[in-house]
Amino acid sequence: MKKTPKKQQPVRWIRSGGGRMALYEELGQYFTPDGLFIEDRFRKQFEAQLRGQLEREGAQRTAAWLSEHLAEIVDYLDERNLGAQTVRLLHTAVDVAERLKLDQLNLPSSLLRRVLAAGSTSTGTGGTRRREPDEKRNRIFAAALEIFSEQGFHNATMDQVAERAGVAKGTVYRYFSSKEELLRELFREAARELAEQFRTSFGGDGNLPEMVETFITAWLQFIERNPTLYRILQTEGAYLGGEGGAVFYEELIEAFPMAKERLAALNRSGALKTMNFHTLAFGILGFMDGVARKWYRSGMSYSLRDELPIILETLFNGIVQEGPGRKHFIPGGGA
């Protein structure tokens, strides 16, 4: 007996965060990726949300909902160490509620104490730590890149770095307590530069796939501008106990405490498959490392921009052609 072909069910992609995806999408509208609160947008959209809730549920039910919802938001932002930004959001929310005659809010006192304490001791802005330009520090960085590249990190000395930078050895040690700290700061500096590209690419509103393409393009340009630094990142991390890459990548992740929320808000239309954010982020980071290694092995004989089409094709569409033989690995029915 001939079997009737089983109808293929459409794949439902698991949404990172499960039941909290709605919260990610909401907060991503009110914060930049690096954790800055967009007060005007929040005030306008939150007021519209409350008015709609009032029309549907009435004042008493809306006040109860608002207390629970604000507690969830504030608790979540407190986990992100956003301090002063959380206080600003709470202040704005209470102001909007009072204007709509919703003055019966009930927030846990322990939560309020924690947030107020965090707000009084921290700017809570998130974002990449910025330094004022320092000519001597920059000269030491440039010299260290040259020496580490020529001698290898293990064989290089701080004396050589000082001589190449044209400064006294004591000056180098005033900035960096050891050769390992100097290497670690080089990695952090690289992450800060790339973080600016992330902030530029995803800070506004627009087409998310185009934003991803813009960032990947900027990343390739960053590697081409800094081939020695990126090569050191790949080869010399072992001298930091294996944490060289971690220093670089964790700096990127920590610079954007609201990155996944922002991307979730930008992806409300479902343009991209939403999987676990950090798994996806580290996967792309590793992919780019592999592309860079291939480029180095070729003697950097071509422009990394030549790799852009295949990178984007792989990231957006995978490597297997559409058709009966294509297999999906993420189960359906995600939250």
The DSSP element (H or E) to which 282 belongs, if any, is helix 277-297
8-state DSSP, 80: T
Each residue's pLDDT tens digit, 85-110: 999 999 999 999 999 998 777 878 88
Tell me the average pLDDT of the chain. Answer: 82
Region 305-320: mean pLDDT is 89
Question: Is CATH 1.10.357.10 what the domain over 179-317 is classified as, yes or no?
Answer: yes
**Interatomic CA distance for residues 39 and 29, integer angstroms:** 10
Give residue 6's pLDDT: 45
**Residue 216's pLDDT is what?**
92
| Residue 263: per-residue pLDDT | 87
Centroid of chain to Cα 315: 17
Packing angle, helices 135-151 and 179-202, rounded to 10: 110
**How do the domains of the chain map onto residue ranges?**
37-121, 179-317
Global pTM reads 0.74
Q: 110-152: per-residue pLDDT in tens?
A: 877 877 776 666 544 554 445 556 889 999 999 999 998 888 8
Mean per-residue pLDDT, 188-201: 84
281-to-46, 208, 236 alpha-carbon distances in Å: 30, 15, 22
Amino acid 151: pLDDT: 87
pLDDT in tens, 55-82: 999 999 999 999 899 989 988 988 888 8
